[in-house]
Structure formats: structure tokens, C-alpha cells
Structure 1
Amino acid sequence: MTELAKLDLDNPDYYENREVSWLNFNHRVLQEAADDRNPLLERLSFLSIGTSNLDEFMMVRVAGLQDQYHLNINELDTKKQWTPEQQLIAVSEKNHENNEYQYTLYQDLKKEVENYDIHFISYNEAPEEHKEAMKKFFFNEIYPTLTPLGIDAYRPFPSLNNKLIHIFVNLSREGEQQVAIVPIPQLVNRFYHYEKDGHNYFIYLEDIVTNFIETLFTGYHIDSTFLFRVTRNADLDIQEDGAEDLLTVIEDYLVQRRNGMAVRIEVQLENNQNQEIIEGDIEYLLDELGLFERDLYFVNGPLDLTGLNDAIDVLENYFPQLRYKPFKPVYPAELQTTDLFKLAEKRDIFLHHPYDSFKPVVEFIQDAANDPNTLAIKQTLYRVSSNSPIISALKTAAERGKQVTVLVELKARFDEENNVQWAKVLEEAGCHVIYGKTHLKTHSKIAMVVKQKNGRVYRYVHLGTGNYNDKTARFYSDMGIITTNEGIAEDATDFFNYLSGYSNQPDYHYLHVSPFDIRDNYIEDIEEEIQSHKVNGNGHIIAKMNSLTSKDVIKKMYEASQAGVKVDLIIRGICCLVPGIPGVSENINVISVVGRFLEHSRIYWFKNNGDEKLFLSSADMMTRNMIRRVEIEFPVLDKNIHNEIMEILRVYLDDNTKARYKLPDCSYQYVTNDLPPVDSQQVFMKKAQQELEKSRNNVPKSKMTWFERLQHRLNKK
């Protein structure tokens, strides 16, 4: 043990680079497209998800590294000790591998769907009658929207819109060469679709435009064309210092973001296309966009596979069996016959989404808005849906004279515009809207309702791991607790006062609140587990999160492993910790579960020699969550809820279907063993359905009044 303690835990070999780790996660997403246990249309959908994930990664993470590179900021990353350029090279290498894998999958799936008479074809493969129909479609619906952009001394290189597909056109007339670019507008649907003799055919719109491109350049000969797509930096700095109104600053920022620096160019290069013909054009684009060859990606198939969603939307009507079997979240039986607030006064209420319905969370705000006894509602909002019933309920509450305080996080990336609009709507309704703390994102998930009944004030608090978003709650795996615990209620009151006024970080009874507090408490809990293990020899830590990047936390986990503590990590995405290193992390096991639902809950458990500690949190163990965000970690105090969550963790650790384990070389392999197959998400769905059947067969007499039953039914519609 003495020798092990001498190991330098800052050794870069003991860590994986954050960006490369994320790309390994996206590879696991793409693997779902290869998994024939998934329905065929869902496999196509995973190709789309992989593209959407990658677009955001390029616009934010790679863009940030490129900014550092161009500004000659050679700050080393804290774990691998790589410069920005070294990270960009590593990202490019891994991402090119992923790109090739993704388009190999696309070509394979394109052939596989033909077994169901589904065909993705080119314009030239269509029969003459449909070519004629596409010609009419082009001139009636597409042609009026097209704007050819010539490039010469009077028309400089255009500003190419982020993520939009463009056609690069080489033209000639009487020996004179010209170049033009034609953007493909973001139309309602990516495909021209027709059905013939029970067969479904899909032609990409950009293919149709390319076939009629000469109509835009009368008098010129089209020498060659190819399709390309540019991704731009969407993570510009928001200058908060000195801002009189952050709302105005964000609106200006959204305009600037449309024209961020280019970070990637993708070029469609089908198998039959000669790359050498367009080599000069590619060099020209790279030069104009300020990109390197490492930023260039050739794709053997259509650009922007998020467009597959448009085809899936059509096909699911023909082939519902090729999608997941429908799953409807279960409305908890106990809340069907008991008022939510009355039940919360007796005991804590636990919700596990998407298996449990999100409706009780919505009703928590709706019922409070309509209750004459409600004095105040306070809530944080990070991401909400476009037609959010929670926003509607908060407006109603304000209009009915309740004191409503809402923190709307304007800096929620890619939801800024949506949140700006909601902030305005809430302010107009009479809500007191705040935007959080300077230089910190408020990522906490907390709501509090204050009521006065029989001369007494009651505080009801909802704490969760996920956003107050009724749409994403259908496919994000999250947890939440509704409680009237006095200590937590006092903490919630102090928390909202801290956000809305001027004060130092409060001293909380139960809550741990970042910046810093969550990380520091977590490291203390690991240290206590180490000390307990030295005495009792039974140390065990289980943690479930989206990502693990905090070096301080990783080093402490290494110390726990060195001391002999068993550490089980369930990490969906980025994991900079490397398990299985002799003398460093051989007692640490890392698995990643990627499946139908997005694993989003954060759970932290310590055995503590039987005096167990269990926390839920809005925070991952990431540097940004620990020091640049306002996050909440809260304890699970109810013994029954504690036991239920522990059983959930055991199911995840038993998963040998959708779980992959991380190896010391940082690759992942599917968990395989001789045990009966366990798909954790399927287990939770089955349990939810069993609960539903049980409640149907054993419905107790309602404890609600007739008015409460009527109000409850109206809210559930």
C-alpha cells in the first residue's frame, strides 16, 4: 500500500481526454443503429441522433478549441496535458472514424429497409412519370425559394448559413469559368415522397435541385456540382459585466451566433464521384472558410442525417411495427385517489420518469395556481417545452394574485431564444422573473409552493434531476421527490432568497449547492468511505451520472480504489476516469447504458458501513457543474424511496443488454455473461405496466371530495 500511495495521480496516462471521451459516447449512440434488436426505423433514428449530437459538439466544444488555437492560447487541458492543437488533431482522428462508421451504417440500413419496399433513390432512378411530377414540384415549390450566389470581384464569397446544405457549382460560357453557390432552403420536408405498387420511394430535395440547377444559370454550361455543409461556432461569449438588461444582451448574442467562425465542412462524395475533380474547389472552400484539412469530412451518402426524421415520420404510419412498441408513462396509483398535496403532508412522493408520468409535476404547479390557499410559487426553469403547461400554470397563478417568482435561465445553450420569449410572457403576466447569477448558469431543478391553511403556512418542495419539460420527460430518464420536510423547505426558502436578492451562500440543513459545495461534500463523502473501509473492510460507492470530468473527484475515486473501496460507476456519456489501471483504479467498474431513453438521472450512494447516504442531484461531476453553475444535490430521507432507488441502481448494474463496460484502453465493450438477459429500461417499463395493472384491479375508494375529483380530472386532460 505504501508503494501504491507514491503513484503520481496527475499522470496523464490515468485520464481520458474529455472531447475524445465524448466522441466515444457518440460512437455508442451509433452502435444502436447497428443493433438489430432495435426496430428498423429506430435504428435510422439513432443515425439522426448521432448527427444532431455531433453538430452541437462541433458548434460548442470544437469551436472553443479552435478559438484557443487561433488566439495562440496554448493552455494545456488539465488531464491529458494536451494543447488545443493536440486536442483538435485527436478529435479529428476519432471523428473521422465515427464518420466512416456512421455512413457505412447508413448504406447498410438503406439496403435493409428495401426488404420492406422502402427505397431511398436518386432523381435519375425514378420513373418518367414521377420525374415529371418532381419537375412540377421543383418549379412550383422550390424554384421560387432559391437564390444563386455568384462569386466574382463584385460579389464576394457569401456568408454561408450554419448547418445549411449548399450546392457548389462550376460554370462556363465561351471559355470563361465562373463559380457559384446555391443554398438549399430549410423547407418543410427533406424528401419528395411517393408510393407506387406498395413501395415507398424517397428522393432527397437537394438531389432534385441539383438535377434542375441549369435553370438558375441560363446561358451557362454546368461543368460540375457537389454538395457541402458548413458548421459554425455557436458558443460566442456573452458579455454579462455591466449589462443593464441581460435579456437584451442575449437577444444581441443570438444574432451574432448565426455568423460564427466555421469549424467544419462536410462534402458529399458518393462512391462513383471522383474526388480529384473537385480537389481544387475543396481547397478554395477551406481557404475562404479558414479551415484545415483536418476539418474536412467526406461523406458517402446524404449530408445531414437528421433529415431521416422526415422519412421516419412518413414511414411509421405504414410500418408501426418498425418503431418501439408504444409506452405510456404510468400515473401513480396513489395519486389517482389522493390529493397530491395532502399525500405530501404525510410522506415524500417519488417519481421515476419516464416510467412514472410527468403529470403530477405539472399538476403540482397547476393545482397550486388554482388553489385559493396558495400564497406563493417559486421555481427555476432551465429548458421548457414550446407549449409548456407549467408556463401556462405560472401565468394563471400570477393573474390570480399569487406571488410568483421564476428564475428563467437565459443562458441555457440553444434554448436561449425560447427562454427569452418565455421570460417576456411571464413578466407580462405579472410574474417576478429573474435571470440568475452573473457568470453562473442556474441548472438547479427546484419548485416550491407556499400555502396557508387553518392559520398555518405549509411549504411543498419538488426537487429533481431533470428539467421542467413535459416533452423531454417522455424520453429522458429522471427522478424527482415532492416533500414537506421542514429542513428542506427552509433550505428551499433560503435558496430562492439567495437567487433573487443579495446575500452570501446560505448555510443549508440538507441541500448541497454549487458552485463548489457539491464537489467539496462529494469528496468528503468519498474520504469518509475510505476511512470506513479501513476499519470495516466493506467500502462501496455507486454513482450514476451523465458525465464525469472533474479531476478532483476522479483523483479521490482513485484514492478510494487504492484503499480497496469498491466503486461502481454508471456514466452515460463522458468519462475521463480510466478503470482497471493496476494500483490505481482496479477496484473501479464503469458502465454506460445507451438505449431507448436518454439516461439523465444523477444518483450518488455511499455504503458508510450500513449507515447509507443517498443523494439525487441536478449536477454531474463535471468541472463546469462544480464551479460555474448553481446546482442542487439533495438527500433521499424517506427509507422506502431510498430502497426503491437502490433497487433501480442494482438493475442498472445487472444490465447485460444495453450496458457497455469501459476498458483500460478507454474502449467500450457490451457486457456479456451467462446470466439471463437484463435490459434495465425494459425492466422499468415492465414494472410500470405491472403497477398500472395492479392499480386497475385494486382501486380503493377515493379520499377526494367531488370538487377535488372534478378538478383532478380537468387537470389530467
Structure 2
Amino acid sequence: MNRDVPQQNLKDPALYLNRELAQLEFNFRVLAQAEDANVPLLERLRYLCISCTNLDEFFEVRVAVLREQLSLNETRPGPDALPPAEVLARIRDRALTLVKAQYDFWNATLLPELDREGVRFSKRDGWTAKQRRWLQGYFRNEILPVLSPLGLDPAHPFPRILNKSLNLAVVLKGRDAFGREGHMALVRAPRSLPRIIRMPAEVAESAYDFVFLSSVLHEFMDELFPGMQVKGSYQFRVTRNSELVVDEDEVENIALALRDELKGRGFAKPVRLEVADNCPKAIADMLTHNFELSDSEVYRCEGPVNVSRVSAVYDQIDRPDLKFPPFTPRVLPAVLEEQSLFEAIRERDILLHHPFESFNAVVELLREASVDPDVLAIKQTLYRVGSASPLVDHLIEAARQGKDVTVVVELRARFDEEANLRLANRLQEAGVQVVYGVVGYKTHAKMLLIVRREQGALRRYCHLSTGNYHQITSRIYTDFGLMTANPTIGEDAHLLFLQLSGLGPIIQLKCLLHSPFTLHKGLMEKIEREIAHAAAGKPARIIAKMNALNEERVVEQLYRASQAGVQIDLIVRGACTLRPGIAGVSENIRVRSIVGRFLEHSRVYWFQNDEQPEIYCSSADWMERNLLRRIETCFPILDPALAQRVFDESLANYLADNTQAWTLEADGSYAHMSPGDAPPHSAQQTLLSELT
């Protein structure tokens, strides 16, 4: 340890923000995008829905883990020293605030503004007689035949309710066919039914007239119970634990074990109950009793409990003026000119900055490799790939062409497990060698390696990326991809694939850093090097961009660097547990978050290194799971021109943003930056202007 650095207790819990609360705060920044009147109206609707679906996942995963810890008496707190019970209580307070803000915006702002633009979500008390007749016919013909209401009595106990499904609790009066006096029933809306119904032009009162399925169910509920009176019907939705737990040390086939676990995911332990705001307490109590929840896990919604489903109307509305202007990603010249990508990559490394530059170059590289007779082998990792991916088609074609094709499919990519199981089966049936990664470690690295025979020798071509091989997200996430024929990087990638497929010993890489072996150690050493430079009176600076930061030892090392005088700028989109601006500890650290049109996803690390800067791109955030419990890659940008591009586009550009940037304060709150008297600068808009 450098003796010139002031010695303080850098493990003091007061220096660390709670990771769950920090993650929850991100959704307030997303909701702020919805509330921004400068954002096109339909995009504001999407931001609202994103904040809702993010909150769903937060409960399904983070809250579920905390509740499980409580149930098992695992009360060991994190670096912030908050026990799980206290964290859950604080989550409750912030989540209530967020939910209220979401529905306030939906009811008071979004609905009226959409209505003014001819996009209407009709409520029952606003239906015309003609609309009501059409909706009644729709109910009888399309909805009623697939409903199966369940009356509750000793012979019909409370049913299993699917995760996040729409349900209604119905209070009935009168005698049923068996002479029973008024009782309760549950109506489950099958997932085959659309949650949003568009009324046809002949009955619509506006250009786009939509109705929630829940409204139709409420209005015509009495037709489900002829001869009885419906005294009330109340929406509810339960959120369940969606973390899959597979004891990988005890199973012989992780694919079969995971398939079995997936069957029960939709009915795992409940963690949250959403009910309509008019739901009587007696019914809410009955629901909480059956779901084994407490009052503190109930959230009342002043509107539809499934408001996130509104995102489905975005593609149905042909109003370009209410959406972001379309853009066309820049296409690589080699692809435009139909030049061999192998020739182009041999000439120089190629950098792709998505979504501003087209992902089609990656697709074309794999297509070319699949039919090139000189290509002998293809190896690729797939974490999330999307349905109907042409990349998968090209891998299958390569196998059919007799090439050796190995694909590492991560079965445990959260919420993509079923899709990845199907993908693995499809690849295996085509003769592709499929590897499921390493037991206990998710394979999150993004790598493609192509082995080609050229002039009697073998040459390796690599594509390394910060993002997934997913054509849809490549148009909405910011990511970097590097295509290179650098022999050292190719050898490192080769050794990594050998380790993944052959489960061999620890490997020594020359150029790449990789988790869980050298990346954490490498980061600590590079930060220590900046500390040494600062102590020697040399310029010392670190700039890093990532999705999240919570690894305790990295945070502590950054505090040490700040104490030594290293200037540190962190661009952290989501959760950050480091507290900047604390005197004597982190006054040299600045943290900002950018929330804009595209989801910030690239990870870039820059170290000044005494005016010999190093810049890396990576698949890993500075999180405990990424650095210590996953397979990740971190690759240097060796070409000086490309290194400058990465610095300018992803670091300097984002540090100059004064319109979509939020600065993290020491207390954990975020302040939205304003240009003030300075010219406004949006990092994403600048890239759209310069690269597309």
C-alpha cells in the first residue's frame, strides 16, 4: 500500500450506498424521461412502461433474494451494513413513491395528452352505445369462450395464480345453481387474450381508440355468472420470485435440471401483490392471506394493474411525429462494397459503435465464414441472441458445410432460459457442438473466433464485444464491437474457448483480461498504478463507463485513488454504491448517469498511465458478480486511431453531456444537469449526427 495515501477506515459503512436502493433509483431517472415534455409523446409512453417492467424485474429478483435471505435468517449485511429487513423497509418507501409517480403521470398527463393527439384509452363511463354493443359482441365471441371462472369454496380452494398474470376477484350476490348463497369467484385472464383491444374505425371516437381488457371484463362480468348479481370486481396481479436455483454440483445435466426448474417458475414464492385502488380491504386481506404476504407487500394501483402492457400500442400507431425520428445505422464500407471482410480485417482492426453503426457487419462476417471453403472452424458465445437470428442460421449452415462449429450457450441468461434451451437443441440437431459453459459461472463474454487457412498457414479472426449478439438490442443499446486479426488477441481468444469447452487449467493470456481470473486483479493493479503516478506528482486520471458499480474492493481502491489525488470520472448508467464528493475520501470522484433514447450498455475503461493511456472495452461491469462469478472478457483497443475514437465517442462525449446527464450526490440522490448558459450537448444525439 502506498504510504503517502492518508489512512482512513475505507470500510466504514457510511461510505457505501445500498445496491438495491441504488438500483431502484435508476427507475426514477427512466420515469423522468417519460415526464420530459421535450420527448415525443409515444416515446414518453414507452419510458413509463419501461419503468414499470424494470420495477417488476426488481421485485422478481432483488426483492425476492432479500426475502429469501430473511426467511433463512441470512442477515449478513453488505458493505453498507443495512440488514435485509431494513433494506426491504426502505425499498417499500421508495417503491410506493415510484408507483404513485407512475400512475399520477399516467392519469394526469399521459392520458389527456394522448387523447389530444387522437390516441384514446376509453373508459367504461365514456363508451358510446355503439361502442358498448361492439365490445359486448367482442366479449361474447372472443373472450367469454376462453374464460374459466373459479368459485371459491372448500371444493374449489384458492388456485395457483401465474406470475404477473391479470386476475379479477369477483364478489357475487344471490344463489347459484347448487343453492349456495353469495360467494366469491376468481377470473383469470388467459395470456392468449390481448391486454389492449383496438376498436374498429366504425365505432372508434378517435383515430386510435383502445380499451383495456380489464375494462371489458369488468363491464360484462355478469354474463359469466347468469342469475347472480356481481357486486364488484377488482383487478389484482401477483409478482413471484423468478430466480432459478439449480444445484449445479448435484445435477448430471444442467439443461434437464433447468428445464424442470422453468416449469415451476411461474408459480414460485410471491413477493408483491398489486390490487386496484378501489379493492376493499377484506378482499385485499383475503388475497394476502392466500399468497402468504403481509400488508407491506401490497401496492394499490390508481389505474390498470398491468399498465406496462400499454407498450403494445406503440407499433400499432402510425404517427411518426409522436416518435423519435428514424435513423439508418452507418454500414461498414467493406459491406457496402461487398469486399471480403477477411481482407478488410487483415488490413486493419475495425471498430463498430452500435446502434449508430450497423450490426449487419457482424452478421455478414459470420455469413461469409459459413460458406468460405478456407474457414475450418467457428467458435462463438451466445448469451442473448433473439428469435429468428440470422447468426444462428449461419452457424447451422457452417456446420452443414462441414466446418467445426462450437457454440457456448449460456442457459442461465435470466428470462431467456427457455429461448436458450430451444436454441441449444436447434444447434445440436444441426451438428453444432454446444457447450453450456462452466458450472457455477455464467458465460457472459461476447466472443466470435473464426479459424481460416491462408497461404498454407492458419489465421484467426476475432469479434469481441461489450454487448450481446442480438440484432434487436443492437439497434437500441449502445455497444462497441472490435473485429481484429491481431495474432495475440486471436491466441488469447483461442485459449479462452479451450478453457470453456475443455474445462482445462488456469490459462495465461497475453492481451485480454478475463473474469473470474485476471480482470479484477488487473483493474486493481491499474488503479494502483494511477495512485503511484499521483504520488510521484505525475498526471493521474481514470475514466470508466459501465452499467453498474458495486464491487466493494474496487470501490475501496477508487477511494484510495481519490485520496491520492487521482482524478476519477465514472459514467454509471444504473446502480452505483460509491459515494462521490466526500471530503477526505472521494472529493476527486465524480459520478454521472446518462439516460436517453438508447440504453447505455457499453463498458469502457481508460487509464491515463503517465501520458501513455490504455483503453479497454469489456463485457463486464464493476460488479461483484461480473468480476468474480462470471466468465467475462476485457479487450484493449490497440490501434491508436480506434483508441482515440472510443475515448472521444464514449468518454469525452458523455462527460460533456449537459442535457441527459444526472450527477450522483453523496447522499445517493441524483441531480439532473441543465445546460444553463452553455450550449446544450446530448452525447447520443451527437453520435446520431456524426455517425449515421
Which residue of structure 1 aligns with residue 450 of structure 2?
449
User: What aligned pairs does 1:193-208 form with structure 2 within 5 A after superposition?
Assistant: 193-194=198-199, 195=201, 196=204, 198-208=206-216
How far apart, in 2, do the equivalents of 1:197 and 1:50 lie? 30
Confirm or deny that 1:383 pairs with 2:371: no
Measure how far apart 1:453 and its partner are: 1.9
**CA displacement, residues 75-104 of structure 1 (integer Å, 9 cap, x when unaligned):** 212x21122111111111111111111111
Aligned residue among 217, 229, 241 for 1:209 = 217
Aligned residue among 296, 299, 314 for 2:298 = 296
Which residue of structure 2 aligns with residue 263 of structure 1?
271
Give the number of equivalent residue pairs: 680
Secondary structure, in 3 states, of the residue corresponding to 2:386?
Answer: coil
Q: Superposition RMSD on alpha carbons, in Å?
A: 1.5
How far apart, in 1, do the equivalents of 2:155 and 2:465 lie? 57
> Contact between 2:143 and 2:193, CA under 8 Å: does it hold in 1?
no
Measure how far apart 1:4 and its partner are: 7.7
Task: Label 1:148 to 1:188 Cα distance change in 2 as closer, same or farther (>3 A).
Answer: closer
Which residue of structure 2 aligns with residue 240 of structure 1?
248
How far apart, in 2, do the equivalents of 1:462 and 1:119 lie? 47
Which residue of structure 2 aligns with residue 361 of structure 1?
362
**CA displacement, residues 611-654 of structure 1 (integer Å, 9 cap, x when unaligned):** 11111100000001111100001111110100101111111000
Which residue of structure 2 aligns with residue 702 of structure 1?
none
Secondary structure, in 3 states, of the residue corresponding to 1:536?
Answer: coil
> Contact between 1:236 and 1:260, CA under 8 Å: does it hold in 2?
no
Confirm or deny that 1:657 pairs with 2:659: yes
Measure how far apart 1:2 and its partner are: 8.9
How far apart, in 2, do the equivalents of 1:119 and 1:487 lie? 59
Q: Which amino acid aligns with 1:256?
A: G
Confirm or deny that 1:373 pairs with 2:398: no
Which residue of structure 2 aligns with residue 183 of structure 1?
188
Q: Which amino acid aligns with 2:667?
A: D
Which residue of structure 1 aligns with residue 328 of structure 2?
328
> Contact between 1:406 and 1:432, CA under 8 Å: does it hold in 2?
yes
Which residue of structure 2 aligns with residue 679 of structure 1?
682
| Greater shift in the superposed pair: 366-375 or 294-303 | 294-303
Secondary structure, in 3 states, of the residue corresponding to 1:5?
Answer: coil
**CA displacement, residues 535-559 of structure 1 (integer Å, 9 cap, x when unaligned):** 1341110000000010110000011
How far apart, in 1, do the equivalents of 2:67 and 2:250 lie? 28
> Contact between 2:547 and 2:601, CA under 8 Å: does it hold in 1?
yes
Which residue of structure 1 aligns with residue 633 of structure 2?
632
Aligned residue among 206, 216, 229 for 1:221 = 229
Which residue of structure 1 aligns with residue 26 of structure 2?
25
Q: Which amino acid aligns with 2:239?
A: T
How far apart, in 2, do the equivalents of 1:620 and 1:10 lie? 21
Measure how far apart 1:502 and its partner are: 3.1
Secondary structure, in 3 states, of the residue corresponding to 1:436?
Answer: coil
> Contact between 1:536 and 1:609, CA under 8 Å: does it hold in 2?
no
Which residue of structure 2 aligns with residue 416 of structure 1?
417
> Contact between 1:230 and 1:264, CA under 8 Å: does it hold in 2?
yes
How far apart, in 1, do the equivalents of 2:266 and 2:115 lie? 39
User: What aligned pairs does 1:41-440 form with structure 2 within 5 A after superposition?
Assistant: 41-77=42-78, 79-107=79-107, 108-173=109-174, 176-194=181-199, 195=201, 196=204, 198-269=206-277, 273=278, 278-315=280-317, 317=318, 319-337=319-337, 338-440=339-441
How far apart, in 2, do the equivalents of 1:199 and 1:672 lie? 37
Which residue of structure 1 aligns with residue 499 of structure 2?
498
How far apart, in 2, do the equivalents of 1:61 and 1:344 lie? 43
Secondary structure, in 3 states, of the residue corresponding to 1:142?
Answer: helix
User: What aligned pairs does 1:497-576 form with structure 2 within 5 A after superposition?
Assistant: 497-576=498-577
Q: Which amino acid aligns with 1:577?
A: L
**CA displacement, residues 2-50 of structure 1 (integer Å, 9 cap, x when unaligned):** 9982321111111111110011101111111001111000000111111
Unaligned runs of at least 5 residues, structure 1: 690-717
- TM-score, with structure 2 as normaliser: 0.96
**CA displacement, residues 195-251 of structure 1 (integer Å, 9 cap, x when unaligned):** 446543221111111111111122322222211110011103112123222211111
**CA displacement, residues 137-172 of structure 1 (integer Å, 9 cap, x when unaligned):** 000000011111111111111111110111111112
How far apart, in 1, do the equivalents of 2:407 and 2:271 lie? 36
> Contact between 1:266 and 1:299, CA under 8 Å: does it hold in 2?
yes
> Contact between 1:546 and 1:572, CA under 8 Å: does it hold in 2?
yes
How far apart, in 2, do the equivalents of 1:404 and 1:470 lie? 21
Measure how far apart 1:418 and its partner are: 0.4
Which residue of structure 2 aligns with residue 699 of structure 1?
none
Q: Which amino acid aligns with 2:657?
A: D
How far apart, in 2, do the equivalents of 1:621 and 1:539 lie? 20
| Greater shift in the superposed pair: 461-470 or 665-674 | 665-674
Confirm or deny that 1:589 pairs with 2:590: yes
- TM-score, with structure 1 as normaliser: 0.93
| Greater shift in the superposed pair: 500-509 or 331-340 | 331-340
Unaligned runs of at least 5 residues, structure 2: none
Task: Label 1:517 to 1:202 Cα distance change in 2 as closer, same or farther (>3 A).
Answer: same
Which residue of structure 1 aligns with residue 464 of structure 2?
463
> Contact between 1:191 and 1:310, CA under 8 Å: does it hold in 2?
yes
How far apart, in 2, do the equivalents of 1:421 and 1:118 lie? 38
> Contact between 2:447 and 2:462, CA under 8 Å: does it hold in 1?
yes
**CA displacement, residues 242-293 of structure 1 (integer Å, 9 cap, x when unaligned):** 3222211111011021210100011121xxx4x6xx1111111111111122
Which residue of structure 2 aligns with residue 483 of structure 1?
484
How far apart, in 1, do the equivalents of 2:149 and 2:193 lie? 20
How far apart, in 1, do the equivalents of 2:269 and 2:376 lie? 49
Task: Label 1:582 to 1:199 Cα distance change in 2 as closer, same or farther (>3 A).
Answer: same
Q: Which amino acid aligns with 2:184?
A: V
Secondary structure, in 3 states, of the residue corresponding to 1:609?
Answer: coil
> Contact between 1:442 and 1:630, CA under 8 Å: does it hold in 2?
yes
Measure how far apart 1:335 and its partner are: 4.1
How far apart, in 2, do the equivalents of 1:181 and 1:355 lie? 49
Q: Which amino acid aligns with 2:183?
A: Q
How far apart, in 2, do the equivalents of 1:188 and 1:613 lie? 54
